[in-house]
Amino acid sequence: MSSASKRSVLRSSELSCPSCVRVIERALRALAGVTHAEVFVSTGRIEVFHDPERVATADLVAAVRAVGYRAAPALV
């Protein structure tokens, strides 16, 4: 297992309140391999640090979608 951490950035245009932030951050942090998740309402940016051997970017997107929000990998 790798101890390396990868930073993935997602975008969502549906973020509008503190509740959105809590729901999404909680869903992402519940994934095995995620070490940090932070949502920025003002920019629609979601930053996640994770072990790429345990959780892929597609898994992060799926977790956000599973709680009812659109998300896609950002072009950084």
CATH number of 52's domain? 3.30.70.100
- Domain annotation covers residue 2: no
Q: Are 61 and 73 in contact, with CB atoms under 8 Å apart?
A: yes
pLDDT recorded at residue 1: 41
- Domain annotation covers residue 23: yes
For the chain, the first-to-last Cα distance in angstroms comes to: 26
- Domain annotation covers residue 54: yes
Q: Are 31 and 50 in contact, with CB atoms under 8 Å apart?
A: yes
Closest C-alpha among 5, 60, 10 to residue 35: 5
Domain range enclosing 31: 10-73
- Domain annotation covers residue 5: no
- Domain annotation covers residue 36: yes
pLDDT recorded at residue 13: 87
- Domain annotation covers residue 50: yes
Q: Is the pLDDT of residue 76 over 90?
A: no
Q: Are 27 and 67 in contact, with CB atoms under 8 Å apart?
A: yes
Give me the phi and psi of 53, to 5 degrees please: -80, -15
pTM of the model: 0.90
**Domains identified in the chain, total number:** 1
Portion of the chain with pLDDT greater than 90, in percent: 83
Q: Is the pLDDT of residue 2 over 80?
A: no
